[in-house]
Amino acid sequence: MKIKQFAVPINFIVFQACWFGCVLGTAYNRGWLGPLLVFLTVPLQIYILTENHKVEFLFVMICGILGFFLETTMIAGNVYIPFDNSWGMFCPPWMAGLWFNFAMLVSISLAWLKGKYVLAGLIGGVFGPLAYWGGEKLGAIELATDNLRWFIPMVLCWALVLPFLVFLHNKLINIEKK
């Protein structure tokens, strides 16, 4: 049996493990745990679970950099405060790690969203803010006390970001095929 047949469940399980590693790691003063898990698992997923390693690596890097800037903007805008505030207004490594990790989810488990941008926007608008709410409940971040101050920016951000990432991944794959 080829392992790629199991790419979606493997990717989903690894994504969840890394998400909890990042969030709980920072909540329990082990902020290095999540980035370490992401650093170890993302290259393995690229190599084992995907076909086009160069495109996937580029996509992961773009997502990580985009995520760093988006999170830095949200932190600077007081949408939320990370538990480990030692990075000031900059995105902490564990949060950036979530974006590198998320890139693999978009690439593999959410590949079925290709061309379904409205659905991707709805999914992003619902589950993006839900992830931050979960991160707050687990002690990794503190959301703005005014629900509208964190909820509306999160919904808007994720309703735009997920369709963009689905579009970008598809474009990169198609460019490489040419």
In this predicted model, what pLDDT tens digit does every residue of 60-102 receive, in sequence order? 999 999 999 999 999 999 999 999 878 889 999 999 999 999 9
CA distance 109 to 111: 6
Tokens at residue 24, please?
Answer: 């709980």
- CA dist., res. 24 & res. 28, Å (int): 6
Q: How do residues 118-165 score in pLDDT, each as one tens digit? A: 999 999 999 999 999 999 999 999 999 888 889 999 999 999 999 999
**Which of 129, 146, 127 is CA-nearest to residue 78?**
146
Q: Tell me, what's the pLDDT at 4?
A: 74
In sequence order, what are the residues at sequence separation of 6 or more whose Cβ sits closer than 8 angstroms to the Cβ of residue 70?
157, 161
Domain count, the chain: 1
Provide the domain limits for residue 99. Answer: 3-177
Q: How far is CA 49 from CA 7, 42, 129, in A?
A: 5, 10, 28
Answer for the pair 138, 23: CB distance below 8 angstroms, yes or no: yes
Phi, psi of 82 (to 5 degrees): -65, 145
Instruction: Please name the residue ranges forming H helices in the chain.
Output: 7-27, 33-49, 53-76, 93-107, 117-137, 147-177
What are the pLDDT digits (tens) for 17-71?
Answer: 999 999 999 999 998 999 999 999 999 999 999 989 999 999 999 999 999 999 9
